[in-house]
Amino acid sequence: MAQLLEGKTALVLGVANKWSIAYAISAAFVREGASLILTYQGERQRETVEELGGELHASKILPCDVTKPEELEALVTNLKQSAPVIDSLVHSIAFANREDLSRPFLETSRDGFLLAQEVSAYSLVAVSRAIAPLMTRGGSITTLTYLGSTRVVQNYNVMGVAKASLEACVRYLAADMGPKRVRVNAISAGPIKTTSARGVKDFSKVLEGVAAVAPLRHNTETAEVADTAAFLASDMGRGVTGNIVYVDSGFQIIGLGISD
């Protein structure tokens, strides 16, 4: 079968380990013929990402902490020399303080609120602006979001507000970058037990509850998210921009689910 991403170069931010959504996306992109560039956040993640990048035959593995403008600049300088054209950017990055995902939302601190916004929403704007000059053939930017952006989901709290902000960023970026044929979309994934989710209180109950009522009656797998990401990055997705694509077994259409 023809490969969806043949001849394209993808930059993927957010691989932390082999359970990362960004790792599944990277693997799908490579399967579809893309050339892959990965970034890691901080020295602590370097070794893991280098190992995973090696398995995926990534052409480059570079440091990038999205909260540090100088690291973004260094990333772009490096890419200009070695991979002058980027066709696809994947942003799979979020952060919030643990306590903000368990206390009542009312108790969110100013610092916790701003930190979640900076890492989880503003970083998409910063990275898109930095990489835009390299997207000379047009292309696709895809980020990851969650239903807690538009509905109240217990404990998601400050991340829900950050994801609402991120989804609005997707629409404004899509409007700005459309004339240059750069598309910007988000995938709203159902809950997945990644390392980020592992510490979340009652997360197993969330998974059980969703699988019981979602139309497809199972929990979202990273591979499902990855295949949608490949579609969006490919020319098959050429008419889609500014959208939130739900990859959640259909959970978001359900009003009141009664499990059988």
Site string for ligand 1JT, 227-256 (x = CB under 6 A): ------------------------------
Tell me which residues in 126-155 interact with ligand 1JT (CB under 6 A). Answer: 146, 153, 155
Q: Applying CB under 6 A, does 197 fall inside the site for ligand 1JT?
A: yes
Q: How many residues are given for the chain?
A: 260
Cα separations in angstroms, 256 against 31, 149, 213: 38, 19, 9
User: Is residue 246 flagged as an active site residue?
Assistant: no
φ/ψ bin of 103: left (φ > 0), alpha (ψ from -120 to 50), beta (otherwise): beta
Determine the Cα–Cα distance for residues 48 and 54; give it in Å rounded to an integer. Answer: 10
Stretch that binds ligand 1JT, among 54-62, 64-72, 81-89, 189-197 (CB under 6 A): 189-197
CB atoms within 10 A of CB 51: 12
156 given a catalytic annotation:
yes
> Is 206 an interacting residue with respect to ligand 1JT (CB under 6 A)?
yes
CA 65 vs CA 20, 188, 215, 240, 245: distances in Å:
17, 23, 38, 29, 27
Q: Which residue in the set 95, 105, 126, 176 belongs to the binding site for ligand 1JT (CB under 6 A)?
A: 95
Residues 148-187 that bind ligand 1JT (CB under 6 A): 153, 155-156, 159
Structure tokens at 4: 């969806």
Site mask, ligand 1JT, residues 98-117, x = CB under 6 A?
---x----------------
- Interaction between residue 92 and ligand 1JT (CB under 6 A): no
Mention every residue, 6+ apart, whose C-beta is less than 8 A from residue 235. 4
Smallest separation, CB 216 to ligand 1JT (Å) = 18
Cβ–Cβ < 8 Å for 21, 92? yes
Size of the site for ligand 1JT (CB under 6 A): 14
Q: Which residue out of 23, 156, 172, 246 is catalytically annotated?
A: 156
Q: Which is nearer to ligand 1JT, 73 or 208 (CB)?
A: 208
Q: What are phi and psi of 139, to 5 degrees?
A: 145, -155
Does residue 14 belong to the site contacting ligand 1JT (CB under 6 A)? no
Q: Is 122 in the site for ligand 1JT (CB under 6 A)?
A: no
Least distance from ligand 1JT to the Cβ atom of residue 50, Å: 23
CA distance 111 to 73: 25
Q: From the centroid of its chain, how far is CA 99? A: 23
Q: Which residues are catalytic?
A: 146, 156
- Interface residues with ligand 1JT (CB under 6 A) are 94-96, 101, 146, 153, 155-156, 159, 191, 196-197, 200, 206
